[in-house]
Chain A
Amino acid sequence: MTARRVGEIGERRPISFQFDGRRLQGLEGDTIASALLANDVRVIGRSFKYHRPRGIYGAGVEDPNGLVDVTLSGKTSPNVRATTEKLVDGMVVRAGNADPGAETDRHGFIDRLAQFIPAGFYYKTFMWPDWHLFEPRIRAMAGLGRLDPTHEPPADSPQINERCDVLVIGAGPAGLTAARAASRAGKRVILVDDQTQPGGSLLYRDVTLEGIQGADWAQSVGAELSGAGQRVLTNSTAYGVYQHNLACVWERRLGQSDALWQIRAGQIILATGAIERPLVFPDNDRPGVMSAEAALVFLKRHGLLVGQKIVLATNNTRTDDGIDALRKAGAEVRVADRRSGAEITGVEGKSGVTAVWINGERVIADCLLVSSGFSPTVHLYAQATGKLRYDEQTAALVPAKPVSGLAVIGAANGTFDLGPSLAEAHAAGGGSGDVPIIDWAYAPYAIEAVWPVTGAKGRQWIDFQNDVTVKDIELAARENYRSVEHLKRYTTLGMATDQGKTSNLNGLATMAAITGRSIDATGTTTYRPPYVPVPLKIIAGRRRGELYNPVKRLVLEPQHRDAGAVFREYGGWLRPAYYGTGADQREIQREARIARETVALLDGSPLGKIEVFGPQAGAVLDFNSYNTISTLKPGRLRYGFMLTESGVIYDDGVVAKVSDTHYIVSCSSGHVDGVLMPLEEWRQDRFNPAEVVIHNSTPQWATLTATGPRARDLVARLELGVDLDDVSLPHMAFVEATFAGGPARLARVSFTGDRSYEVSVPSLAAPDLFTQMRALLAEFGGCLLGSEALLLLRAEKGYIIAGKDTDGTTIPADLGINGPRDKRRDEFVGKRSLFTENAQRTDRQQLVGLTVHSAEPLPTGAHAVELADGKRRSIGFVTSSYFSPVLNRPIALGLIERGLARLGEDIMLYHLGKTLRATISDPCAFDRDGGRLNA
């Protein structure tokens, strides 16, 4: 091919770039493909399976061949589509699937073995003796492109939600006409197009609309829409249509990160045009064989004549204007028209067309342009549940039935002539008045269908990117993979990154011919989003890294950091795990020891604070709790469980009764949402919602807990305005207080087994409270307490963490707590489940303590086992395990079969090949009579 620039579009700035190590020059406005063609680069990459040399075939998203790796500013992006990627100064481009380069690919020899590796070859050949022997080598050769591990694009793609009355996809003549009609009718319109400017085919076909040259007309309609306040998105590809008319659009923005638009439209109008099909003949994949329409696009949009001695093979009238344009630009064009019997029988030129055989005549040529007619771009219609039918007259699959809320117009609807197409567009847009008048000098669309034929000499390519030939389809038919879905998967037809935009209809028409069925009866495969490969970056948007699953943060986080906290995530909250710079276990042991000796201060702010107000507040809580709540005296607290309807313990916590019409549920920090949901559900479903209101005030209050023998002395110094003596404020009591002139709440509740005070203040007052309490800590020789030491202190007392020391089967009886089950007459959530056969089995796993007689704590998760017929059988597992500084020995909790009946029994445990022993004991290992609560 001797491609050259022709002076069609004026002066443009030069752009330098590299391809396979060569320095080249393109022009502003070029795609990578047009720049390579202008430099006479014909082999742009190697095919996926056989490593055949391939060149540019198309001019847009349909091109199956032009996948390249692009390095820009040191970052490499694999599998970039050369025909749609704008050329940028300094781009380093490498041929796709070629090593070291397109011309000199070292795997090129594979093509000579092609007859031995037909469709299904890998499935059949590497079964014996074992696929895994072959897998590493085959995997290394499979796949396309090279990922750059250093290239992690920033999470900066916005996702924009938008609504409109009418979304028009495609800004060719039909789309522009529909959008303008809708806009003039007063609709809110969004127009989306994947090119740099509106116009579609008007940018390369010589049409006059309403007396104005096509490209200028397109520009004026675009300006009218923008002027009317409508949104025109160029460089934007609508890649998916989802339920209820949601369209997803990938916008490429100059100098900014790409954006994802999620547009909910009252009506979607698809004006997506059509894609030219290749003619299929032996060696039709040679570099230099190109879509006839693509050649016209390169000529008119890039000032590039793709060849000097051109053969143009066609079966339809839509190549007429292109032939004239190419001749006018100075090319010699020999037309081989199938309608007058001219058939291509062969192509010469391994790395670029040198000669074409027409009916046995050898014609010297540097380029072979082909057109087998047009396939409507029905992808989005089909995604939106549209069904297709084969239209004999246009030899095309066209929309067969209307889809609610969606209209397909113009070439996408199989209406290939501009006049009728614009009439359709005008009507779809709700236009009044006249349809735009056109002036087009060429014949109406007419085609004589030409489908691939079997039995030809040489290979005829259907799917260029995945290397599927007519013979492969014959093989699939012989082996009875005749359904199109089987054909696709067996041969990989249409499964490459172009998703068969040029190959699908040729492929299934071939199968139809082989099996003697009609094209309609053969059917099509399912169309799925995305229409084009979309960067995962825009789908992920900003939900990556820290924002992937954002943690909840404490209002006092800066103060904790200042105090040397090491943070970890607990139940969705970022909390201090421990403080200090020493080894974690040392710091945790230190904190736990000091908490037992003097006093420690814990930030308990994440603890749930769900407030329940109203005359039915007590009734709602009684129904949702295992323990009766409403019988509490005002100012008192009760510990209890919340069950699921299956009777399983979902959460444990403390409920405070402020008054008969106000309760505060203090649930686990990680379960606030999960507790809120059933409370709200039952409130609305079972009670009078006018008589009870539930409000989550967790984020509004910060809670600092002082725990330890000196806790009262410390809290007394805060001047909260309340009596702290054990008569006024006994264990499990609650009082409203004041702090620094504002409200405060003081609760005596203990998660450590030591005397403890929870001081809650509005979040804004928290820094003040923290500063005061931390200063007092120093005075009492106390310390800050992280979550790890708290877990340890809880475990010493046998206090459970719901979901850690219980699992998805644990019911209250498994903790030995049967009072409410046996005594409550009223209904409560989960009640019936506590009386099932399963709930009353005697071999249930029950919570017990595990005492070990060595210095090494048991591994959490270790299985308790017993031997049956010489085999180990799991009878439970370790749920929590620590070294207790106050007991100077390991402690553990576990769920063990019949555990409560086995106190004192020795059991065997097994973990990662090691056998361990422990004695079943009471879960409470420390201060069993609870004396320290009031010490």
Chain B
Amino acid sequence: MQLFTCPFCGPRAETEFFYGAEAGKTRPEPASDVKAEAWAAYLHTNANPKGATREIWLHQTCGEFFLMERDTVTHDVVQSVSLRGDAA
């Protein structure tokens, strides 16, 4: 079981967290201007990188979504950043 860091609560067990999405995806809108391909990419295309990743996670116990940078190979958690403010 991994140890993730919530920017508000500190290091906590992985089971307290819920994966949100890859970071940096912007919702394309307005709907009337969005091409089907762009919408499909928003819904379904993920980079799923091997190695360094930036992801949005939810810490279920405090309810905050935040940005976590981690490594999918070494499982190192590089940093966790609050989304309050202008991060991500």
Residues of chain A whose beta carbon lies under 8 Å from any beta carbon of chain B: 161, 242-244, 246, 262, 264, 645-646, 677, 680-681, 684-686, 689, 827, 831-833, 835-837
Contact = CB atoms under 8 A, between A and B. Distances in A.
Interface centre among A242, A645, A685 (most CB of B within 10 A): A685
B3 A836 contact: no
Interface string B1-41: 11100000000010000101000000111110010100100
A836 B34 CA distance: 11
Nearest to B84: A689
The 9 closest A-B pairs by CB, nearest first: A832-B31, A244-B3, A831-B31, A243-B2, A832-B39, A243-B75, A684-B65, A827-B29, A832-B34
Nearest to B42: A645
B39 A681 contact: no
Interface of B: 1-3, 13, 18, 20, 27-31, 34, 36, 39, 42-43, 58, 63-65, 75, 83-84
B34 A681 contact: no
A827 B65 contact: no
B1 A242 contact: yes
A243 B1 contact: yes
Contact of B1 (A262, A686, A833, A835): A262
A685 B31 contact: no
A24 to B, nearest CB: 44
A836 B36 contact: yes
A827 B27 CA distance: 11
A684 B21 CA distance: 14
A246 B29 CA distance: 44
Contacts of B27: 686
A686 B29 CA distance: 13
9 contacts: A262-B1, A645-B42, A645-B43, A677-B58, A680-B58, A681-B65, A689-B84, A832-B31, A832-B34
Contacts of B28: 832
A685 B1 contact: no
Contacts of A161: 13
Given A677-B18, A833-B43, 13 more contacts: A161-B13, A243-B3, A243-B75, A244-B3, A262-B1, A645-B43, A646-B43, A681-B58, A684-B64, A684-B83, A685-B83, A827-B30, A837-B36
A911 to B, nearest CB: 35
Given A244-B2, A262-B1, A833 B58 contact: no
Interface centre among B30, B31, B34 (most CB of A within 10 A): B31
B57 to A, nearest CB: 11
Nearest to A264: B3
Contacts of B1: 242-244, 246, 262
Contacts of B65: 680-681, 684-685
Contacts of A262: 1
B79 to A, nearest CB: 15
A774 B19 CA distance: 46
A246 B43 CA distance: 35
Contacts of A243: 1-3, 75
A741 B67 CA distance: 47
B84 to A, nearest CB: 7
Contacts of A684: 64-65, 83
A244 B75 CA distance: 8
A680 B83 CA distance: 13
Interface centre among B34, B39, B75 (most CB of A within 10 A): B39
A412 to B, nearest CB: 23
Contacts of B58: 677, 680-681
Interface centre among A161, A242, A243, A837 (most CB of B within 10 A): A243
Contacts of A645: 42-43
A235 to B, nearest CB: 24
Given A243-B1, A685-B83, A836 B75 contact: no
A818 to B, nearest CB: 15
A243 B71 CA distance: 12
A835 B31 contact: yes
A836 B64 CA distance: 33
A827 B31 CA distance: 7
Interface centre among A161, A832, A835 (most CB of B within 10 A): A832
A832 B37 CA distance: 11
Contacts of B30: 827
B29 A833 contact: no
A689 B18 CA distance: 20
Contacts of A832: 28-29, 31, 34, 39
Contacts of A264: 3
A677 B59 CA distance: 11
Contacts of B2: 243-244
Contacts of A244: 1-3, 75
Nearest to B38: A832
B16 to A, nearest CB: 12
Interface centre among B27, B29, B42 (most CB of A within 10 A): B27
A686 B56 CA distance: 14
Contacts of A686: 27
Nearest to A646: B43
Contacts of B64: 684
A680 B64 CA distance: 9
A836 B29 contact: no
A791 B7 CA distance: 45
A386 to B, nearest CB: 14
Contacts of B31: 827, 831-832, 835
A400 B24 CA distance: 40
A34 B13 CA distance: 42
Contacts of B83: 684-685
Contacts of A835: 31
Nearest to A838: B36
Nearest to B34: A832
A681 B56 CA distance: 10
Nearest to A673: B60
A831 B31 CA distance: 7
A522 B33 CA distance: 60
A835 B33 CA distance: 11
Nearest to A680: B63
B34 to A, nearest CB: 5
Nearest to A694: B63
A684 B83 CA distance: 8
B77 to A, nearest CB: 8
Nearest to B56: A685
A237 to B, nearest CB: 19
Contacts of B84: 689
A677 B43 CA distance: 17
A246 B36 CA distance: 45
Contact of B20 (A242, A681, A689, A831): A681
A689 B27 CA distance: 18
Contacts of B42: 645
Nearest to B2: A243
A835 B30 CA distance: 12
Nearest to A161: B13
A272 B36 CA distance: 59
Nearest to B65: A684
A685 B30 CA distance: 17
Nearest to A242: B1
Nearest to B83: A684
A903 B42 CA distance: 37
